[in-house]
Structure 1
Amino acid sequence: MRFLCLHGIGSNAEVFNTQLSAIQAALGSQHEFVFVDGDIPSEAGPGRLTSLYSTNEAYLCTGVYGVAEGPYFSFFNLPTASQIYDAFELIDQALEDDGPFDGIFGFSQGASVAASYLLRNQGAHLPFKCAVFFCATAPFNVESAPFRSMDDGTFRDEGTGEDITAEIAANIPDLLDRKTFPSQGKSMIRPYPSDGSIQIPLPTVHVYGRNDGYYPQSRNLVEMCQSFDREVLEHKGGHSIPWEQGMTSRIVDLLRRLVHAVDLHCHRLLRTKNRTFTFNMGSQHDIEQTLLGSWSLLELRSQLQDGGEVFPMGKGARGILNYNPNGRMSVQLQPAVTKKVKETVNDLLAYAGRYWVETQPDGSGMVKHHLELCSWPEEDGSYQSRKVELFENQLVLSSPAHVNVEVSPLVTYVFEWS
């Protein structure tokens, strides 16, 4: 995979390359990392760096200066709409000059820019399949209500004139330091909210330290990403990428899981694009051969009669389905643990028994399940009928069913397996 990499404030491409060097070496040469510089000349930024692969405290340095030669750059020095748009143009230019890329990496301010870009463009076709955020600071919404820094040290909403100093202190505390961030008279934009109202629709990895001054902002960004597609590593350090071998191994494990999640995410997109397409499986033998093997659950949803959707086991439910050559099948379904679901079908479900295939007059296939043993006793001995559809290497099994759901009593269960 190829990754576009954005450095932190007062840094440069060389510094970020050094910060990621151990991770790159552990991942292997099959992955390519492309580093770009911000376009605003800056003083050397904060943070903690270490000499390549060194574990000697004598080689540790607080800040960028003295570890990597300048010049140093930032993507913005104040969160103004024009500066954030300029940062977006740098990403677009990198895509044009060096793309395509599979994912985007960002450290500190670079993570802020990457997240801002993904949130800004989430309604369109995103040019990235995943994102990795190290020590992220807040992402900014270029379409948010602007505010202005006043000479008396307060901040006011430009539209209403309301004093929003408390809001700025909570969400962008750096702006209170007028010496480091002189903003008097400047019009600036707000960060995105972390209430889940807007989310990055991609697999993500988040790495940050409990002792980082930007810890709350990194945590907020986690909430702006899909819960079923995100991996989080919280370490005991500060505003730096961990360099200890054990932590590097844990980060690399998350990145390898991210690569797998990208594959599943692409399958979901394929399903969305082809949802109305029914695959004609052919003969009964063809269907049986297609089913054989193990399948992992991508999604379990219920399509309501009124056109809506609910997720009986929550978004991010997990499961495995096995079809064996001896005519036996087994299923295990585990509900998502990230949130409570209102539907009644939300307990661990496991069953096993016989299966067989029947072809329909239109050439489509149905697989029948006999639940000889089920973790829900009331389902012991029952039968299921599932319509079989195939999109590339994705299996979709669907069946009408009745379930006590608040929205509507009539639903169609749809199981998607990869």
Structure 2
Amino acid sequence: MKILCLHGDDQNAKKFQSELATFLSKLKELDVDLSFDFIDVPRHKFYETGDVKDVRTAHEWLEKKLDHENPYDGVLAFSQSAALVSSFLLYRQWYDHELPPPFRFAIWISGNVPLEVLKDLGVPVSKEADGVVAQARLQRGQGLGPSPAHTAKARRAVWNSDDCFGLNLNRLPLELKIRIPTVHVWGEKDPMFPGSVHLAGLCDPYIKKIHVHQGAHEVPRDGKDVTELASLVEWSIHRATWPGQTQL
């Protein structure tokens, strides 16, 4: 299986691969033939802002990459690259629903979906949701951890589709729910974690798994986290290759 690996903003492929070294070593224990394609993106960032034009331009880069490479089975993306891939999948499902998904499964670490993208796709985004993301960015910009208000609401936001940090996910059509197996990983000390909760909520609840580690906005490296993450990747591979999945 071939997996596309995309780093976060202000990173490069070499650094991302180094951060994943322990995890990749653990994956070698799986009874699956895996290969990983780490690539550098232009200027070490996919886009400068989260506005729709900027993100869509980054989508063009990703689409060219996918067109010129052998098909990828899965994608492993961190931070901004997770936002890129998830928003790319949503636009594709909405506007090019006759095309098959470009990936059979996705693993997102500290991921999110830009709210401006959701608005462009017609998703009702409340002032509360905008406020949550703005506060999260402020917390990160000041070098702080998560907002106490966000932490207090975390569990409810994960499980309550009526109010996922200001998004009512029950109002979304099926085309705006990502329908491939997904794994969502974020740190409980990451001030940006509400965005990861938004992304998890936008995925099919029956074929997604969530793992919250004790770190911040980072790739988990603790032995227990690495073992759990490897098992989740194994789950996503098996779920993606289940014969019925291709009919969904």
Distance 1:174 1:209 in 2: 13
Q: 2:130 aligns with which of 163, 168, 173?
A: 168
The aligned counterpart of 2:74 is 103
Deviation (angstroms), 1:166: 6.2
Q: Mapping of 1:63-212 within 5 angstroms?
A: 73-122=44-93, 123=97, 124-140=99-115, 142=117, 144-145=119-120, 168-173=130-135, 193=167, 195-196=169-170, 197=172, 198-212=176-190
Aligned-partner SS, 1:144: helix
User: Against the structure 1 CA distance between its residues 24 and 176, is the aligned structure 2 distance closer, same or farther, given a 3 Å change threshold?
Assistant: closer
Identity %: 25
Distance 1:117 1:246 in 2: 32
The one-letter code of the counterpart of 2:113 is: A
Deviation (angstroms), 1:223: 0.9
Deviation (angstroms), 1:38: 2.6
For the Cα contact (< 8 Å) 1:5–1:106, is it kept in 2? yes
The one-letter code of the counterpart of 2:75 is: I
Deviation (angstroms), 1:269: 2.7
Which sections of structure 2, spanning at least 5 residues, go unmatched?
Answer: 143-165
Residue 262 (str. 1) matches residue 240 (str. 2): yes
Residue 218 (str. 1) matches residue 193 (str. 2): no
The aligned counterpart of 2:41 is 38
Task: Output one character per residue of 1:152-203: Cα deviation in whole Å (capped at 9) or x when no partner.
Answer: xxxxxxxxxxxx97653323446769x99xxxxxxxxxxx956141310100
Deviation (angstroms), 1:94: 1.7
The one-letter code of the counterpart of 2:245 is: R
Q: Mapping of 1:320-335 within 5 angstroms?
A: none
The one-letter code of the counterpart of 2:244 is: H
Deviation (angstroms), 1:24: 1.5
Distance 2:33 2:135 in 1: 40
The one-letter code of the counterpart of 1:219 is: V
User: Against the structure 1 CA distance between its residues 35 and 86, is the aligned structure 2 distance closer, same or farther, given a 3 Å change threshold?
Assistant: farther
User: Against the structure 1 CA distance between its residues 257 and 170, is the aligned structure 2 distance closer, same or farther, given a 3 Å change threshold?
Assistant: same
For the Cα contact (< 8 Å) 1:105–1:114, is it kept in 2? no
For the Cα contact (< 8 Å) 2:180–2:207, is it kept in 1? yes
Aligned-partner SS, 2:241: helix
Ranked by relative contact order (alpha carbons within 8 Å, sequence separation 6 or more), the top structure is 2
For the Cα contact (< 8 Å) 1:108–1:137, is it kept in 2? yes
Give the TM-score, by structure 2 length: 0.75
For the Cα contact (< 8 Å) 1:169–1:176, is it kept in 2? no
Distance 2:181 2:13 in 1: 24
Aligned-partner SS, 2:210: strand
Deviation (angstroms), 1:268: 3.5
For the Cα contact (< 8 Å) 2:73–2:103, is it kept in 1? yes
Higher CA-based Rg: 1
Indicate the structure with greater helix content: 2
User: Against the structure 1 CA distance between its residues 175 and 239, is the aligned structure 2 distance closer, same or farther, given a 3 Å change threshold?
Assistant: closer
Indicate the structure with greater strand content: 1
User: Against the structure 1 CA distance between its residues 207 and 142, is the aligned structure 2 distance closer, same or farther, given a 3 Å change threshold?
Assistant: closer
Distance 1:172 1:138 in 2: 14
User: Against the structure 1 CA distance between its residues 19 and 268, is the aligned structure 2 distance closer, same or farther, given a 3 Å change threshold?
Assistant: same
Distance 2:168 2:64 in 1: 29
Distance 2:34 2:212 in 1: 24
Distance 1:116 1:261 in 2: 22
Give the TM-score, by structure 1 length: 0.46
User: Against the structure 1 CA distance between its residues 75 and 193, is the aligned structure 2 distance closer, same or farther, given a 3 Å change threshold?
Assistant: farther
Q: Mapping of 1:249-328 within 5 angstroms?
A: 249-264=227-242, 266-270=243-247
Deviation (angstroms), 1:207: 0.9
Distance 1:145 1:206 in 2: 24
The one-letter code of the counterpart of 2:232 is: L
The aligned counterpart of 2:156 is none
